[in-house]
Chains A and B, each alone.
Chain A
Amino acid sequence: MEEVKLMKGNEAIAHAAIRYGMDAYFGYPITPQSEVLETLEAEMPWETTGMVVLQAESEVAAINMVYGGAASGKAVMTSSSSPGVSLKQEGISYIAASEIPALIVNVMRGGPGLGTIQPSQADYFQATKGGGHGDYHLIILSPATVQEMADFVGLGMDLAFKWRNPVMILADGVVGQMMEKVVLPPFRPRRTDEEIRQQCPWAANGRHGRDHRNVVTSLEMDPERMEVNNNRLQDTYRKITEAEVRYEEKFTDDAEYLIVAFGSVARICLKAIEEMREQGIKVGLLRPITLWPFPTKEIERLSKQVKGILTVELNAGQMIEDVKLAVEGRVPVYHYGRMGGIVPAPAEIEESLKSHFLNV
């Protein structure tokens, strides 16, 4: 059995990347995720697996290095925090338009602007609705535990290759900075150049006997052909929406009220729910694990069972819009949020739910 370790979520991401057989990491330090780069530098995987770890001159440079590495069929990733991820958006749009896989990690901090370095979920809109320009989507994974920080590196990179679409791990500072138990994934070797040629026939990695050179680009001067590209992307997004929704339900079987929350906030909500259940108040939790595609059908189903829904987010109310679209007005939907790096305590969530639904 693999050894149980104790580490921060950010450290778990770095170890999981090496063990996945990641070919390269390009990044630029920013709190609260600098431990990703620091751990990679300390582990020196270039001497063991041959993985490239490079601190670029800026976030913009890092995402364009990712674009280049991904275009050649390599498994590549970057990580940053909110202001840095804003800088990466142009590159992310190009990667999505070019239909190539990449993994981007955003450990969010309080915004807007440079904001604070404390936990936040204020980049939900940016992550799930596009972020950069054009009609595109990233697959968004929302970890709530250090274990998921580790697991979603491999899952995210696999999904990115499966759908030839960039994937983002959208984490908050709590899960980045806290330590808890984790079992790291087993080591697997980096793919050989031959395996990449077989698995990624689209990759721009030399002719190797092909009758043409692969060119990876997002540029198309002919609007009719660009619309074909757009329709192909939209078709992929439909298929992803059907196949890749992930979520977790707790105490929903007999729930009269539902809390929807993602990331570490879902755990704070679970604590509040445990305390309310002891008082006989039947509250359940739905935690979206994929924020895009969103668990719309599951929330629609639960909205036919419960009397009301509370979303709890570290922002001014962003995911609540997707919840309301799923609920279609069947039951009242309220938001409770803290901003700027403040994390609510379980008691605040309990108080909010009771004030909305139980007139307490």
Chain B
Amino acid sequence: MKEEIIIAGFGGQGVLSMGKILAYAGLMDNLEVTWMPAYGPEQRGGTANVTVILSDKPISSPILSSYDTAVILNQQSLDKFESKVKPGGTLIYDPYGIHRAPTRTDIKVLAIPAMDATLELGNAKTYNMILLGALLSARNLLSTDAVVRGLKKTLPERHHHLIPLNVDAIAKGRSLVE
């Protein structure tokens, strides 16, 4: 099993956090993981992206030319990464704010209205977890349980009461795919 993922959007949308939670969940399932951010000033207001690799074998490069799956949160990132999804790969994107939709036909394209879904849930901070749920479902990657164990491991205890809200958001994301 090996999944090479790019998550890209605006700084502040929870791109790096989503990658981190995914990586921790991979760790909980005893997978090899790498989390490589495009770090720097572009994280503040500009675009942000992170490459996450999950694999049952040792991982060579943490930096990639192409990806099995792209999770795209804004137009700039769609323009940049649509062509870098491997043929047969998956592109998940939120149509909110997208004015040039993906055009490729050799990949699986999933439009996940995550922004609308966060409004339904009533908490804007669940945005990235809805997309994480969609990613886990679309690629059949990790169990929600692994994500919860990862969250318990990484969140300070004073934030553990937020875990059920995140579980709901992941379930919402999953339901948008299924």
> Do A177 and B36 contact each other (CB < 8 Å), given the known contacts A6-B23, A6-B24, A6-B27?
yes
| Docked complex Cα distance between A181 and B20 (Å) | 12
Q: Is the pair B60, A177 in contact by a Cβ cutoff of 8 Å?
A: no
Residues of B within 8 A of A272 (CB): 61
Interface residues of B in 43-77 (CB under 8 A from A): 59-66
Interface residues of A in 119-155 (CB under 8 A from B): none
Q: Count chain A residues whose beta carbon lies closer than 8 angstroms to a beta carbon of B.
A: 27
Q: Is the pair A181, B36 in contact by a Cβ cutoff of 8 Å?
A: no
> Do A174 and B65 contact each other (CB < 8 Å), given the known contacts A4-B27, A6-B27, A32-B39?
no
Contact of A174 among B24, B59, B62 (CB under 8 A): B62
Residues of A within 8 A of B41 (CB): 117
| Docked complex Cα distance between A118 and B40 (Å) | 7
B67 to chain A, nearest CB (A): 11
Contact of A179 among B20, B32, B60, B66 (CB under 8 A): B20
Interface flag for A264 (CB, 8 Å): yes
Interface flag for B35 (CB, 8 Å): yes
Residues of A within 8 A of B95 (CB): none
Stretch at the interface among A61-69, A71-79, A213-221, A342-350: A342-350
| Docked complex Cα distance between A124 and B65 (Å) | 26
Interface residues of A in 241-297 (CB under 8 A from B): 264, 267-272, 274
| Docked complex Cα distance between A177 and B23 (Å) | 14
Chain A residue, CB-CB nearest to B34: A180
Q: Is the pair B35, A345 in contact by a Cβ cutoff of 8 Å?
A: no
Q: Count chain B residues whose beta carbon lies closer than 8 angstroms to a beta carbon of A.
A: 21
Interface flag for B9 (CB, 8 Å): no
Q: Is the pair A177, B37 in contact by a Cβ cutoff of 8 Å?
A: yes
Contact with A along B20-38 (1 / 0, CB 8 A): 1001100100001111110
Q: Is the pair A181, B35 in contact by a Cβ cutoff of 8 Å?
A: no
Interface flag for A226 (CB, 8 Å): no
Q: Is the pair B33, A6 in contact by a Cβ cutoff of 8 Å?
A: yes
Residues of B within 8 A of A331 (CB): none
Residues of B within 8 A of A179 (CB): 20, 23, 33-36
B interface residue numbers (CB < 8 A to A): 20, 23-24, 27, 32-37, 39-41, 59-66
Pairs across A and B, CB under 8 Å, 22 listed: A4-B27, A6-B27, A31-B40, A118-B40, A174-B62, A174-B63, A178-B36, A178-B62, A179-B23, A179-B33, A179-B35, A180-B59, A181-B27, A181-B32, A181-B33, A264-B63, A268-B63, A270-B60, A271-B60, A274-B60, A346-B61, A347-B66
